[in-house]
């Protein structure tokens, strides 16, 4: 007796099962064509300079605006999420960077799923994970994985804001899942939690965001921003952790994401004392390695200046004559800050 399941739904069921088998925690299906609004929002973001010094966001707009702009043959997008929910409160180094580099973990799974799709479903595919002009959060919302909260990050009813995203573009014409509706309501917890006031409802100004400042921005930072950065040395999870939906999240069980002890409670003096070679060795295999030594030491000096710990004064003094200008200036700022504490 012939099956009553439409071919598209049968293919989706097989893909979903295989995706869970290779290690993903949630799977959804989105169209490969985004409505014009998504592209317009991105264009406005760049035109208002809210992207800061991330010049790579200024080009390839036609590719970013819609998946079929990046790959015209794409008919559907499979959006996949991997839970990285922490077991403890976020620390000075962002949760996502405390284990192995998630790009490597997610990309390996995407390739495994993609190879299977090509062989079993006779289609073409392209895989992406946070390294190409893909509007992954709007796609994730269209695929039903969650919604873009007021902090602009994806919020899942099951995993909170702790999902790594990856996408498989495919030539298969798959029926999209039902988009997730916004469940933020009147809550402003994420906005209230931002130390630097970088967030207004559904709008992010990267120029004030601690994640941007500690990872993307090079050189000296403005004193008023440094004073509000607290002990963050790489990234910031304050808005994610403050979201009430986080209480429904579950800790991950992925060995690759288990935090390294030196990254959960890093000693500021140890990080500040690293040279370039030592930095690469300590952060080998970690997303932190992308910052390079100089910005990381600068970030650490900001945390030292905000620490109120006189014992760290010697660390700042030693770096006040560093060869790097931003380190020298930040060290001197930290010394002045410690004098006032």
CA distances in angstroms from 27 to 17, 140, 147, 257, 294, listed in the order given? 9, 9, 14, 20, 39
301, 330 contact by CB (below 8 A): yes
Q: Are 152 and 50 in contact (CB under 8 A)?
A: no
Residue 217 lies in a domain: no
Task: Report residue 290's pLDDT band, with 50, 70 and 90 as the boundaries.
Answer: confident
Tell me if 134 is assigned to some domain: yes
The pLDDT-based confidence of 5 (bands split at 50, 70, 90) is: low
Tell me what pLDDT residue 133 has: 80
Angle formed by the axes of helices 325-340 and 293-305, to 10°? 10
* Residue at 79 is within a domain: yes
What integer is the mean pLDDT of 123-141? 92
Confidence of residue 86 (pLDDT cuts 50, 70, 90): very high
Residue 274: inside a domain: no
Residue that wins the pLDDT comparison between 1 and 32: 32
What percentage of the chain has pLDDT greater than the value 90?
A: 79
Q: How many residues does the chain have?
A: 341
Q: What is the pLDDT, as a whole number, of residue 176?
A: 97
Is the confidence at residue 84, as pLDDT, over 60?
A: yes
**pLDDT value of residue 217:** 95
CA distances 273 to 133, 170, 310, 315, 328, Å, are 36, 48, 17, 8, 14
3-state SS, one letter per residue, for 181-210: CCCCCCCCHHHHHCCCCCEECCEECHHHCH
146 pLDDT above the threshold of 60: yes
4 pLDDT higher than 70: no
Are the beta carbons of 15 and 115 closer than 8 angstroms? no
Tell whether 225 is covered by a domain: no
CB contact set of 4 (below 8 Å; sequence gap of 6+): none
Q: Which range of residues forms the domain containing residue 71?
A: 7-170
Which position has the higher pLDDT, 297 or 48?
Answer: 297
Q: Is the pLDDT of residue 2 over 50?
A: no
The band of 6, judged by pLDDT with boundaries at 50, 70 and 90, is low
pLDDT above 60: residue 1: no
Letter string b/e over residues 134-144, b meaning 16 or more CB atoms within 10 A of that residue's CB: bbbbbbbbbbb
Supply φ then ψ for residue 190, to 5 degrees: -70, -40
pLDDT digits (tens, 9 = 90+) for 11-61: 999 999 999 999 999 999 999 998 777 778 888 888 889 988 887 787 777
Is 253 a member of any domain? no
Q: Is 238 annotated in the active site? A: no
Overall number of domains in the chain? 1
With beta carbons less than 8 A apart as the criterion, state whether 234 and 155 touch.
no
Considering only CA atoms, which of 322, 260, 268, 311 is closest in space to residue 287?
A: 260
298 or 34, which is more confident? 298
CA distance 130 to 109: 14
Catalytic residue among 68, 130, 177, 182: 130
Q: Band of the pLDDT at 153, cuts 50, 70, 90?
A: very high
- Dist CA 300 CA 266 (whole Å): 10
Position 222 in a domain: no
Quick: pLDDT tens for 241-288: 999 999 889 999 999 999 988 788 889 999 999 999 999 999 988 899
* HSE (side-chain half, CA atoms, 13 Å) at 89: 4
Mean pLDDT computed over 209-218: 96
> How does the average pLDDT of the chain come out, rounded?
93
Q: Give the span between the Cα atoms of 74 and 81, in whole angstroms.
A: 20
Q: What is the pLDDT of residues 183-208, one digit of tens each?
A: 999 999 999 999 999 999 999 999 99
């Amino acid at each position: 007796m012939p099956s009553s399941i439409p071919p598209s739904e049968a293919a989706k069921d097989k893909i979903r099962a295989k995706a869970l088998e290779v290690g993903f925690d949630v799977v959804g299906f989105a169209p490969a064509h985004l409505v014009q609004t998504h592209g317009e929002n991105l264009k406005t973001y760049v035109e208002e300079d809210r992207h800061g010094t991330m010049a790579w966001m200024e080009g390839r707009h036609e590719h970013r605006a819609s998946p079929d702009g990046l790959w015209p043959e794409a008919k559907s997008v499979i959006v996949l999420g991997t839970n990285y929910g922490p077991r403890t409160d976020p620390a000075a180094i962002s949760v996502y960077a405390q284990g192995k580099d998630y790009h490597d973990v997610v990309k390996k799974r995407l390739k495994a799923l993609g190879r299977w799709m090509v062989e079993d479903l006779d289609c073409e595919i392209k895989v992406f994970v946070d390294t190409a002009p893909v509007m992954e959060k709007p796609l994730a919302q269209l695929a039903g994985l969650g919604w873009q909260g007021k902090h602009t990050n994806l919020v899942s009813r099951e995993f909170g804001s702790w999902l790594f995203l990856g996408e498989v573009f495919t030539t298969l014409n798959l029926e999209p899942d039902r988009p997730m509706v916004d469940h933020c309501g009147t809550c402003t917890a994420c906005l209230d939690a931002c130390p630097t006031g970088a967030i207004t409802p559904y709008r992010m100004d990267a120029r004030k965001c601690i994640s941007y400042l500690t990872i993307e921005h090079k050189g000296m930072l403005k004193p008023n921003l440094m004073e509000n950065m607290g002990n963050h040395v790489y990234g910031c999870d304050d808005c994610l952790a403050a979201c009430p939906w986080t209480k429904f999240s579950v800790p991950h069980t992925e060995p690759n994401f288990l935090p390294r002890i030196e990254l959960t409670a890093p000693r500021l003096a140890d990080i500040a004392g690293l040279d370039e070679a030592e930095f690469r060795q300590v952060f080998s295999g970690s997303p932190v390695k992308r910052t390079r030594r100089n910005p990381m030491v600068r970030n650490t000096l900001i945390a030292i200046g905000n620490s109120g710990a006189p014992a760290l004064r010697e660390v700042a003094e030693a770096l006040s004559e560093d060869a790097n200008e931003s380190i020298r200036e930040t060290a001197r700022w930290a010394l002045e800050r410690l004098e006032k504490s």
